[in-house]
């Protein structure tokens, strides 16, 4: 389980998260919704230790967080476009490889594991193509495979489908849900479409002005989720 408790983050003097509590269980896809500027990305950065927290703590499975436990997937797809799909996925293993072995090319075990990760996202047949030759949706699935190749306990995704068309968005979210359910990962995804959250997430947290204003199961009517997105009056 990923547990954030009492997380307060300030940029300069200004607090942007006010003692936020959020948990994500293993086997669960949690969607975080909120208007622009409500602190969603900051929450994800705090979880990943990419921003200093003024107060609060982050644990993974009840213990201190190790950076290798957390894999990140971004809105803008960060792949090396001219390298092969397989090399991009292998890069997920870099954190646990000695520098020497990665300079000499990835070891066979890593390449095999990366291939299995590609199979997981349905793209094994594209392993030897240049990453840049794939569609946006396929590239994001490669990014998910790279995250898997890191062998994380937690996946953090910041608007992973914002740049994708509706069909690709459905596919990537179904994949993230499956990783939670089948692999037992704790998956936190910031989304901007309540309808997608309602369809795919097991739980939804709503942020407003740096505070949690909703935490529950996505119900069939997504109206309550849309309310979270309305600008603060
Ligand atoms: N590096 C930064 N320095 C100063 N202010 C920031 C920085 N990053 C974000 N903010 C501010 O913090 C607030 C929350 O931002 P963010 O977490 O990116 O929101 P969201 O992802 O929900 O749109 C916003 O008001 C934003 O302008
Ligand atoms: Mg953001």
> Which of the ligands is closest to the CA of residue 35?
1
Indicate whether 203 belongs to any domain. yes
Least trusted range by pLDDT, from 92-106, 144-158, 200-214: 92-106
Residue 233 within any structural domain of the chain: no
Q: Which of 231, 140, 188 is nearest to 43 (CA)?
A: 188
Per-residue CA distances from 193 to 20, 128, 200 (Å): 22, 34, 11
Spacing, Cα 37 to ligand 1 middle (Å): 6
220 alpha carbon – ligand 1 mean position (Å): 31
Spatial distance between the Cα atoms of 22 and 223, rounded to a whole number of angstroms: 22
∠122-160-132 over CA atoms, to 5°? 60
Residue from 10, 33, 42 to probe ligand 1 pocket by mutation (most atoms less than 8 Å from CB) = 42
* pLDDT for the residue numbered 230: 74
Q: Is the pLDDT of residue 42 over 60?
A: yes
In this structure, are strands 55-60 and 2-11 parallel, antiparallel, or unpaired? antiparallel
Question: Which atom of ligand 1 lies at the shortest distance from residue 43's CA?
Answer: 17
Cα–ligand 2 centroid distance for 104 (angstroms): 37
The DSSP code for 232 is P
In the chain, % of residues over pLDDT 90: 82
| Per-residue model confidence (pLDDT) at position 90 | 95
Give per-residue pLDDT as tens, 179-196. Answer: 999 999 999 999 989 999
Q: Report in angstroms the alpha-carbon separations of 77 from 8, 133, 147.
A: 28, 13, 12
- Mean pLDDT of all residues in 45-68: 95
Residue 7 domain-assigned (yes or no): yes
Q: Which residues pair with 73 in a beta bridge?
A: 157
Residue 200 has pLDDT above 80, yes or no: yes
d(CA 146, CA 118): 8
Check pLDDT > 80 for residue 102.
Answer: no
Q: What is the CATH number of the domain that holds 114?
A: 3.40.50.300
The pTM of this model reads 0.93
Number of domains in the chain: 1
* Ligand 2 geometric centre to CA of 107 (Å): 36
Whole-number pLDDT of residue 98: 79
Residue to mutate, 4, 8, 9, 11, ligand 1, most ligand atoms under 8 Å from C-beta: 11
Would you say residue 111 lies in a domain?
yes
Residue nearest to atom 8 of ligand 1 (CA): 42
pLDDT at 3: 98
Closest by CA to 143, choosing from 109, 195, 97, 179, is 179
pLDDT at residue 66, as a whole number: 93
| Candidate from 101-110, 112-121, 168-177 with smallest mean pLDDT | 101-110
15 CA → ligand 1 middle, Å: 10
Q: Read off the tokens for 191.
A: 């989304």
Q: Got the DSSP string for 67-112?
A: GGGEEEE-SS----TTSBHHHHHHGGGGGGS-HHHHHT---HHHHH
Domain that holds residue 201: 2-228
Tell me, in angstroms, the distance from the centre of ligand 2 to residue 35's CA.
9
Task: With beta carbons less than 8 A apart as the criterion, state whether 198 and 41 touch.
Answer: no
What mean pLDDT, rounded, does the chain reach?
92
Residues with CB under 5 A from ligand 2 (ion): 40-41
Which atom of ligand 1 is the closest one to the Cα of 38? 22
Residues with CB under 6 Å of ligand 1 are 11, 16, 34, 36-42
CA–CA dist 176, 226 (Å, integer) = 22
Is the pLDDT confidence value at 220 over 70? Answer: no
Measured from the Cα of 190, ligand 1's closest atom is 21
Over residues 58-69, mean pLDDT:
95
The verdict on residue 17 lying in a domain is yes
Q: How confident is the model at residue 130 (pLDDT cuts 50, 70, 90)?
A: very high
User: What span, in angstroms and rounded, lies between the C-alpha atoms of 132 and 121?
Assistant: 17
């Amino acid at each position: 389980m990923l547990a954030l408790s009492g997380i307060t983050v300030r940029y300069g003097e200004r607090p942007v998260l006010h003692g936020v509590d959020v948990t994500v269980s293993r086997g669960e896809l949690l969607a975080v919704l909120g208007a622009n500027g409500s602190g969603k990305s900051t929450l994800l950065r705090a979880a990943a230790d990419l921003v200093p927290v003024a107060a609060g703590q982050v644990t993974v499975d009840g213990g201190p967080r190790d950076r290798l436990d957390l894999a990140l997937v971004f809105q803008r797809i960060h792949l090396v476009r001219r390298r092969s799909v397989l090399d991009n996925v292998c890069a997920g293993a870099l954190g646990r490889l000695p520098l020497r072995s990665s300079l000499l090319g990835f070891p066979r075990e890593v390449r095999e594991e990366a291939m299995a990760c590609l199979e997981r996202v349905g793209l094994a047949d594209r392993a030897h193509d240049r990453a840049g030759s794939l569609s946006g949706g396929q590239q994001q699935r490669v990014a998910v495979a790279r995250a898997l190749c890191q062998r994380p306990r937690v996946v953090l995704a910041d608007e992973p489908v914002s740049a994708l068309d509706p069909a690709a968005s459905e596919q990537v979210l179904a994949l993230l849900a499956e990783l939670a359910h089948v692999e037992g990962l704790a998956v936190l995804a910031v989304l901007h479409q309540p309808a997608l959250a309602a369809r795919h997430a097991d739980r939804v947290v709503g942020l407003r002005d740096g505070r949690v204003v909703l935490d529950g199961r996505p119900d069939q009517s997504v109206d309550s989720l849309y309310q979270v997105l309305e600008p603060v009056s």
